[in-house]
Each structure stands twice: as C-alpha cells, then as structure tokens.
Structure 1
Amino acid sequence: MVKTLFSNFLRKIRLIYFADLIRFYIVKNKQRKKNILFSKQNPNFLLPPSYLIYESFNLDYENYYRSGKHDAEEIIKIVSRHETLDTTKILDWGCGPGRIIRHFPALLPTSEFYGTDYNKKTIDWCSANLPNINFNKNLLSPELPYQNDYFDLIYGISIFTHLSLEMHYGWFEELYRITKPGGILYITSQGDNFRHKLSVSELQDYENDTLVIRDNVKEGHRTFTTFHPPKFMRNLFERMEILEHIITKPPQGENWIPQDKWVLRKRIKNS
C-alpha cells in the first residue's frame, strides 16, 4: 500500500515517467552480468535495444526469450481448444519488440503473421530483424490499415492495461472490425489478482465496476496503468461470445501477477 501511495504521489506531480526512467538504469545495471552471459550463450538470438525490452516487458534477456516462447505456445494451446490455427492470418496487436510474435512462424509455418505497435522505434527494429512477419506502425488512436473481417486470430497481451476509457471502446470496435466472423480475439487484463495493488479509493471504484486508471503520463506507456473489473470487461465485449475467462492464481514466492485472459469469438451473422 505504501508503494502504491508513493507511486500515485509521483504520478500526481507528473514525475512518474522520470522515476521509471531512473528505475530502468538501476535494473539495467542489476541485470548486466546475467544479460551479458545470455548474449554470449545465444549469439544468434537477436535482441532489441535494452529500453525497448524494458518498456514492453522487463529487462531480462533470458526471460524475454523464454516467456515469449511460452506465451506463444500458450496462446496457440488455448485458442486451439476452439479453432484450428493452420493456414490462418494472425495479428499481434501491440507487438512491442516482438517478444511473442517472433516465435509464431516456427510454431505455425503455414500461417501468415502480422504485428502492429504505436512505437516507431520498436516497429523499425522488428521490421529489420524479424523475418516472415508483416509489421505496421499504428497510431494511438484506433485506426489500422487492414480490411474488414481480415484476421482469424488477434491477440493483445497487456495492451488494454495502458489505455484510457475512451480508447478501450475505440480499440475494441477497431479490433472487432478486422476480426473475421467466427474469428478469435485473445485479450489480457488486470483483474482481481491486482486488487491488492489498489488504494482505498481505487478499490471502491473497482468494486463499483469502474475502470481504475492511473494516468498523468503519456497514454500507452508502461507507466499509464489501467485495472479492469471483470463486469466492465464483459460489458465491453458484449458484441462477442466469451468462450473463456481464465484467471490464474498467482504463484507463491514469485514477483509476478498473472493477468486475466479473455478468449472471445466474433459471432457469425444469423447464427
């Protein structure tokens, strides 16, 4: 609770971004030896610039590799319970520096892959270093260059967690537009597992099914944080069929909190 109050104070006086930048250099120094060792042991594994990794995940090279591969395999496993993914079009919405999407071509060699992100530096790096994936830089506003009903699967890992209320509605409509009828949308959110991170006033809003938004910083950045009451998300997704809402219990002894996973299907008209 003390950490939450201090963080909210820094946010109020608009110093949260600078505090996070200082944290980046502290983490970079702390992880230096471990990351150098990983690079030496895996010379053929291309790594993005350090800040791009930190901004989208955490600055641990081995974890960037292992968690990306694990998450790609998990997405395929979960979605395959509802839909075959052979010869499909798949979009990583908010792909960051390719942590997850880079593993998909080897796992689903007959499918087509796309990645989009609002960060130009991360898209430039992905385009130059990750083959067999079509990358696109999007804006923060909900507008993508893809045709209606284009993708069989769209996944967004911890993207709604950095968006405002307005952008929740706008981006859901855009994702709905480009998902094929019968296609799958796979989204994560910060649900009940994160209740202990909320202040008293934030928890009251959360229990009233209101988005809890910590802003006063650039929207979309890692320090812009949103928490999602499940009822709010169900209302947001009402145009789609909710196939699964997966809540994973936080593992003991680990500094990691699982986000909720939402598996949605775009309804086929007249079905």
Structure 2
Amino acid sequence: MNKGQISNILRRLRLIYMADWAYYSIERCKNRKKNNSFKKNNPDVKLPNDYLMFESFQIDYTNYYEGGISTAKWLSEYFGKYIDLKDLKILDWGCGPGRVIRHLPEVIGNGCSYYGTDYNKQTIDWCAKNLPGISFNLNSLEAKLPYSDNFFDVIYGISIFTHLSEDLHYKWLNELQRILKPNGILLLTSQGDNFKTKLIRSEVLKFNNGELVIRDKVKEGYRMFSAFQPSGFMKNLFNDVQILEHYAEPIPKSGDWIPQDVWIVKKK
C-alpha cells in the first residue's frame, strides 16, 4: 500500500487531521535541536510559531529563512525576464507567514511596493506585527480581494492552486486577472507530472485524461487538501491569458522533494 492509498483511506475515515497533527508533532521533535541552534545563532530573526510554519511549509527554521531568501531571488530572476523590476506593485497571493515576501524588499528593491494576502488570520496577524514595510490583507476562500482593478504589476502564488477545488481555480484566476494590470505578470505553481508518483491508479487515469485530481475530505485551503493539475487542465484554465512560460523541473535523484511546475502568464 502506497502513501496515496493510505492518504485516501485516512480521508474516508475522517482521520486525516489526526494523522497530520501526529506528523506535525514528529517533525517538531525531530527538528528541535537544529531549530534551537538556528535561534541561538540568529537571535534577531523573527520567526512565526511552529504550527504556522508547518501549515504553510515545514518546521525547519533554516529552510524557512534561508530558503525564503533563495526563493525570493529565484522569483526575482523569473520576473526580470518579462518585466522591468522598478517601481512595481507586487502581491504575494497566499503569503503564509511571510517566508518569501519578507525578503523581496531587499532582494528587488528599486522603489517597488510589496503586498501579502492570506486566508489564515493568525498568519496575517503575525506578518502585520513582525514584517514592517509590507501591506498585509486577510482574505477568505471566496475569490474576492480589496484591491482595485488593474492595481498590481506582478502577482505570484506558490503552491496555492494546489489546495483549491476546480471551481475556485477559475474564480480565483478571474479575481487575480481583475487586479492585475494589462501586460502584468502572474506566476503560479502546480502539482504537475512530477506528482503522478503520488497518485493511485484511478487518479492517474483521471490525470492522464487531462482532468484535475482532488483529494478533499478536509477544509478547502488546508495543507492536506490537495489538487494535482495536468498541463492540459492548466492550459484550459489559462485560456484568457497569454502563457509566457511553463517549466517542469526534473525530480532530483536524491531527496524526497518534488518540484512543482511553474507557470508564468501575462494579462492581455
């Protein structure tokens, strides 16, 4: 029995939350020594509590902070291929506890302004109190944001579609297009072909048919609500925007990290 089968059984039995909490507890204990060392060596680095970090990433302070810097630089390189990174308004859609957005003012600079939005109230409260110079907003799962039409030059969402239903894929894309300026850049990630190894046979058949695969039985938006997106589905989703780039990084030969697909589109 593989992990996908176990996951689906736990969902049917309504035990997935309990299993995820057990995993959180194990990871917290496993990383305690390493995390205490990071705090001792970096006393000025502000960190969210362990569960907020776990919900959006993993309980590894080094990877949260230093990995956030690397991701910010990675995003800057992608953005810079398609837009002049100067005096822009940039939104982190689904910012979590600020892992990436906290570093962009230093990584990009150039008179840009930075915004973050998320549906987790505790996360947004922490970000607003601890990450100055960035405007944070609490949203709901409903595809509705308080920004005016054509407001942002760049929007990115890292592993956000991966926790939404098919209906909200379309509704949120429409909302992101609304607040994005004409010729603005939108970068999103998805669980593409690399993630077929996590699917059970019936899910693979659906995926290969170009259909979105959903694992639910939990609250939508929660880390254990999983969506797997074949490229055909994503191309249909992006029917009203211009696809600038689709990149699927190969799975590393070592380690358990599976890279998500990167989609960069431009508003027409």
Deviation at 1:195, TM superposition (A): 0.7
Task: State whether structure 2 residue 176 is matched by structure 1 residue 170.
Answer: no
Structure 1 runs of 4+ with >6 Å offset: none
Q: Which residue of 1 aligns with 2:118?
A: 117
Structure 2 length as normaliser, TM-score? Answer: 0.98
Task: State whether structure 2 residue 196 is matched by structure 1 residue 195.
Answer: yes
SS at match of 1:144: coil
Q: Which residue of 1 aligns with 2:23?
A: 23
Q: Which amino acid aligns with 1:20?
A: D
Deviation sequence 1:97-128 (CA, Å, 0-9, x none):
00000001112221000000000000000000
Q: Which residue of 2 aligns with 1:45?
A: 45
Deviation sequence 1:146-186 (CA, Å, 0-9, x none):
00010000000000000001110110000010000010000
Q: Which residue of 2 aligns with 1:84?
A: 84
Q: Which amino acid aligns with 2:209?
A: N
Which has the higher mean CA deviation after the structures are superposed, 90-99 or 59-68? 59-68
Structure 1 length as normaliser, TM-score? Answer: 0.97
Q: State the alpha-carbon separation in 2 of the partners of residues 80 and 3 from structure 1.
A: 38
Task: State whether structure 2 residue 149 is matched by structure 1 residue 148.
Answer: yes
Q: State the alpha-carbon separation in 2 of the partners of residues 19 and 166 from structure 1.
A: 27
Q: Which residue of 2 aligns with 1:104?
A: 104
Q: State the alpha-carbon separation in 1 of the partners of residues 39 and 86 from structure 2.
A: 33
Deviation at 1:252, TM superposition (A): 1.4
Q: Which residue of 1 aligns with 2:139?
A: 138
Give unpaired runs (5+ residues) of structure 1. Answer: none
Q: State the alpha-carbon separation in 2 of the partners of residues 43 and 239 from structure 1.
A: 47
RMSD: 0.7
Deviation at 1:93, TM superposition (A): 0.1
Deviation sequence 1:16-45 (CA, Å, 0-9, x none):
111101110111001000000001111111
Identity percentage of aligned residues: 53
Q: Which residue of 1 aligns with 2:67?
A: 67
Q: State the alpha-carbon separation in 2 of the partners of residues 7 and 67 from structure 1.
A: 28
Q: Which residue of 1 aligns with 2:35?
A: 35
Task: State whether structure 2 residue 6 is matched by structure 1 residue 6.
Answer: yes
Aligned residues: 267
SS at match of 2:92: strand
Which has the higher mean CA deviation after the structures are superposed, 17-26 or 155-164? 17-26
Q: State the alpha-carbon separation in 1 of the partners of residues 189 and 65 from structure 2.
A: 20
Q: State the alpha-carbon separation in 2 of the partners of residues 176 and 14 from structure 1.
A: 36
Q: State the alpha-carbon separation in 2 of the partners of residues 3 and 250 from structure 1.
A: 18
SS at match of 1:114: strand
SS at match of 1:14: coil
Give unpaired runs (5+ residues) of structure 2. Answer: none
Q: Which amino acid aligns with 1:229?
A: P
